[in-house]
Structure 1
Amino acid sequence: MFNGERFLGAALASVFAQSRVPDEVIVVDDGSTDSSGQTARSHPGVRVIRQENQGLSAARNTGLAAVQSDAVVFLDDDDRMLPENLATGLRLLSAYPQAAFVAGCATPIDAAGTRTSPDKRLGSPGTCSFATLLAGHSFVPPSTVMFRRAAFEATGPFDTALRSGCEDLDIYLRMARVFEVHAHPALIVEYRRHGRNITRNRARLLKASLDLLERNRALVADDPELKAALEAGRRRWIATYGPGLPSEAAGHLKQGHILPAVRAIGAALRYHPQGLWRYLYGKLGRG
Structure 2
Amino acid sequence: MTPLVSVVIAVFNGERFIREAIRSVLDQGHEALELIVVDDGSTDATAEALAEFSAIRAVHQDNGGQASALNHGLRLAKGDLFAFNDADDVWTPGRLAIQLEALASDPGLEAVYGHVEQFLEDDAPAAVRAGLTPERRVMPSRLHSAMLVRREAFERLGPFRTEIGIGSVVEWAARAKDALSDRVLDEIVLRRRLHGANIGVTRKAAATEDYLAIVRAAIAKRRESGN
More strand by share: 2
1:192 aligned partner, one-letter code:
R
Structure 1 residue 66 and structure 2 residue 76: aligned? Answer: yes
Partner of 2:188: 187
| Deviation (angstroms), 1:21 | 4.2
Deviations 1:254-283 (A, max 9, x none): xxxxxxxxxxxxxxxxxxxxxxxxxxxxxx
Structure 1 residue 33 and structure 2 residue 43: aligned? Answer: yes
Partner of 1:42: 52
Partner of 2:138: 121
TM-score by length of 1: 0.66
Give secondary structure in 2 for the equivalent of 1:29.
strand
C-alpha contact 1:108 1:117 (8 A) present in aligned 2: no
Give, in whole Å, the separation in 2 of the partners of 1:117 and 1:47.
Answer: 38
Give, in whole Å, the separation in 2 of the partners of 1:205 and 1:95.
Answer: 37
C-alpha contact 1:109 1:190 (8 A) present in aligned 2: yes
**Relative to 1, partners in 2 of residues 1:118 and 1:70: Cα closer, same or farther, differing over 3 Å?**
farther
Instruction: Work out which of the residue numbers 72, 89, 95 in structure 2 matches 1:85.
Output: 95
Partner of 2:207: 205
Give secondary structure in 1 for the equivalent of 2:67.
helix
| Deviation (angstroms), 1:64 | 0.8
Partner of 2:17: 7
Give, in whole Å, the separation in 1 of the partners of 2:187 and 2:133.
Answer: 16
Partner of 1:131: none
Give, in whole Å, the separation in 2 of the partners of 1:47 and 1:144.
Answer: 21
Give, in whole Å, the separation in 2 of the partners of 1:87 and 1:156.
Answer: 26
Deviations 1:8-32 (A, max 9, x none): 1111121122143451111101111
RMSD: 2.2
Q: Which residues of 2 match residues 94-109 of structure 1 at below 5 A?
A: 94-109=104-119
| Deviation (angstroms), 1:161 | 0.5
Of structures 1 and 2, the larger Rg is shown by: 1
Give, in whole Å, the separation in 2 of the partners of 1:16 and 1:153.
Answer: 25
Instruction: Work out which of the residue numbers 67, 75, 78 in structure 1 matches 2:85.
Output: 75
- Residue segments in structure 2 that go unaligned for 5+ positions in a row: 1-10, 123-131
> Once the two structures are aligned, what percentage of the paired residues are identical?
30
2:149 aligned partner, one-letter code:
F
Give secondary structure in 2 for the equivalent of 1:109.
strand
1:78 aligned partner, one-letter code:
D
Deviations 1:110-157 (A, max 9, x none): 337xxx989831225xxxxxxxxxxxxxx34x3211121212321211
- Runs ≥4 residues deviating over 6 A: 116-119
Higher relative contact order (CA 8 A, sep 6+): 2
**Relative to 1, partners in 2 of residues 1:160 and 1:189: Cα closer, same or farther, differing over 3 Å?**
same
Structure 1 residue 216 and structure 2 residue 226: aligned? Answer: no
C-alpha contact 1:22 1:86 (8 A) present in aligned 2: no
Q: Which residues of 2 match residues 257-276 of structure 1 at below 5 A?
A: none
| Deviation (angstroms), 1:216 | 2.8
C-alpha contact 1:18 1:83 (8 A) present in aligned 2: yes
**Relative to 1, partners in 2 of residues 1:194 and 1:74: Cα closer, same or farther, differing over 3 Å?**
same
Give, in whole Å, the separation in 2 of the partners of 1:4 and 1:202.
Answer: 19
Give, in whole Å, the separation in 2 of the partners of 1:118 and 1:22.
Answer: 37
Give, in whole Å, the separation in 2 of the partners of 1:218 and 1:191.
Answer: 30
Partner of 2:3: none
Q: Which residues of 2 match residues 167-186 of structure 1 at below 5 A?
A: 167-186=168-187
How many residues were matched structurally? 206
